[in-house]
A and B are shown apart, each in its own frame.
Chain A
């Protein structure tokens, strides 16, 4: 019987400081067989950690078409992430996964996409963007909203110029410095400034408060609940749908999520 809790060592190939508290880690499994077998869909996550210290869930944020390595972006938020931030190139992380169900990219293949990422939640959008850049489609356009508190929280900023060649990227900050050249306000203010495309599928990841306000705007635009996909965060432990920590109604964020279409969870008290 395969042990679902077994982790595999992965070497850190590259560390890129992304924001005041987040680093991007490029990882490669030490065992080539493990690396070769590792396939994921945009929106899925891994459990990463350090032997003896602990582990936690992290969205995979590299392109799903890239098979030689994977990337996660880790925000320093507590005990384990602090320890991860002390690691250097060549050190190892322990990884298991990928877990859950990501965004239904096949179903959305011929649809325009509106990506909405709030703060650290933006991480998972990078996979969708990188996949699109690698394999752009004539049948699909991407509009991307990225909301942060200040410019210090922006992630992947050095990639934006490249992204902008093929996608529409809109940045907004609620408390930026005077030098901030983009929009100021909450991510929902972008709906007043940007004309949303027709026939759009929405992928969103951010805190519950962002969902509440964003959903209001999406409803006003007449976007059906079944076309809205939200990625959820909950406390996790097992990541395989057993320990109960991440349950929402009859679903597990780890196993059935982290991405849910809005119609599936909207009646569950406390989901959002």
Chain B
């Protein structure tokens, strides 16, 4: 293992639970580790992402006793150092940082976590051609992280992105690092041109490219796997449940997915997204239109995880290509 990282892990172990990429039979997963020797440094994209550690599949919003609502104690949020987050996934983290900036639960998880980005210059390009992973001069200043470790042939080069990150590095005896000041998610040169191109393709395309969406609607099983693995998917639903003793219980929230038909159901049974075609469009619309409109950043970071898990091989690269074509008319289709 790289000696500088050994030092860092040894130091962090004192205060933090360490979460890092670990090689398992089905791929590399971000997992809780006790033994830093288990860490996999290949810098390949992990199958799972930071999201389950900062926004758990299910979490308690309030415990209640009678009418009294009690927020979970700060001590119930784990102190965790999450190592090995790629630049692609740091871009997804930006979405979370924007979406949940007023959400005390996310903020509690985030404040108790140390985010350590990682890139190996030796690793191959992992993007699916949707966005680029290349590290450019200004890449890091537009990402939010605490520490970033760049593996170069000459050894690990460290960057700090926050005072928490600086403290961790200094505490570990690593004095040679560069401070990066976060200047916001959008580059000085303006909005990401690729994001804008995709935005135009998807926006209000449900009628225009009806055949593309209907075809996807026919193929998609609405299993929701793509949204489960997607590092920018975050929608949720909340529930209230009674506990064992009288008048106690919890208000919880859990991951939801817009692929499920219940997602848009209102009292009386009406579902606004009543076909799979409408739901898969809603999913694309969120990533390629709604998030860019809200936050000026891409809602899809091009990690390709959704493509890898889809049981019916739906591939968003193909969808974006289809949407770039002039819409097919019925006539053309019949001829074919």
Residues of A within 8 A of B (CB): 1-7, 9, 49, 51-56, 77-78, 81, 92, 94, 233-235, 237-238, 240, 242-245, 247, 249-250, 267-270
Contacts and interface: CB of A to CB of B under 8 A. Distances in A.
Interface in B277-306: 278, 281-282, 285-286, 289-290, 293-294
Given A4-B103, A52-B64, A234-B272, A250 B266 contact: no
B148 to A, nearest CB: 27
Interface stretch (B11-19, B256-264, B307-315): B256-264
Interface stretch (B123-131, B137-145, B176-184, B231-239): B231-239
Residue of A55, A77, A235 with highest tally of chain B CB at under 10 A: A235
Q: Which 3 A-B pairs have the closest CB atoms?
A: A77-B267, A269-B206, A244-B235
Interface stretch (B24-32, B66-74, B76-84, B214-222): B66-74
B266 A81 contact: no
A9 B69 CA distance: 10
Contact of B102 (A4, A49, A53, A78): A4
A1 B235 contact: no
Contacts of A233: 266
Contact of A94 (B67, B256, B268): B67
Nearest to A51: B64
A158 to B, nearest CB: 26
B294 A250 contact: yes
B240 A54 contact: yes
Contacts of A78: 267-268
9 contacts: A1-B102, A3-B104, A5-B238, A6-B69, A52-B240, A53-B240, A238-B236, A249-B290, A269-B281
Contacts of A245: 235, 237, 256, 263-264
Nearest to A248: B272
B71 A3 contact: yes
A14 B281 CA distance: 45
Residue of A7, A268, A270 with highest tally of chain B CB at under 10 A: A270
Interface of B: 61-62, 64, 66-67, 69, 71, 99-100, 102-104, 107, 204, 206-207, 234-242, 247, 249, 251, 256, 258, 263-268, 272-273, 278, 281-282, 285-286, 289-290, 293-294
Contacts of B64: 51-52
Given A53-B240, A54-B240, A247 B286 contact: yes
B104 A1 contact: yes
Given A3-B104, A235-B263, A269-B206, A92 B67 contact: yes
A242 B103 contact: yes
Residue of B107, B240, B242, B289 with highest tally of chain A CB at under 10 A: B240
A5 to B, nearest CB: 5
A7 B251 CA distance: 11
Given A1-B102, A2-B102, A249-B289, 6 more contacts: A5-B62, A54-B240, A77-B268, A250-B290, A269-B207, A269-B281
Contacts of B266: 233-235
B240 A51 contact: yes
A249 B237 contact: no
Nearest to A250: B293
B58 to A, nearest CB: 14
Given A247-B290, A249-B289, A9 B71 contact: no
Nearest to B99: A242
A5 B240 CA distance: 13
Contact of B206 (A234, A235, A270): A270
A242 B100 contact: yes
Contacts of B234: 242
B101 to A, nearest CB: 9
B134 to A, nearest CB: 30
A49 B64 CA distance: 14
B280 to A, nearest CB: 13
A113 to B, nearest CB: 27
B238 A237 contact: yes
B125 to A, nearest CB: 31
A233 to B, nearest CB: 6
B79 to A, nearest CB: 19
A237 B236 contact: yes
A250 B66 CA distance: 39
Given A234-B272, A242-B99, A245-B235, A268 B204 contact: yes
A1 B64 CA distance: 20
A197 to B, nearest CB: 33
Given A5-B62, A77-B267, A250-B289, A52 B103 contact: no
B299 to A, nearest CB: 11
Contact of B241 (A9, A52, A56, A240): A52
B204 A249 contact: yes
B241 to A, nearest CB: 7
A38 to B, nearest CB: 18
B272 A235 contact: yes
B56 to A, nearest CB: 15
Contacts of A237: 236-238
Residue of A4, A51, A53 with highest tally of chain B CB at under 10 A: A51
A81 B242 contact: no
A55 to B, nearest CB: 8
Contacts of B67: 9, 51, 92, 94
Contacts of B251: 5, 51
A81 B267 contact: yes
A88 to B, nearest CB: 15
Contacts of A53: 240
A215 to B, nearest CB: 17
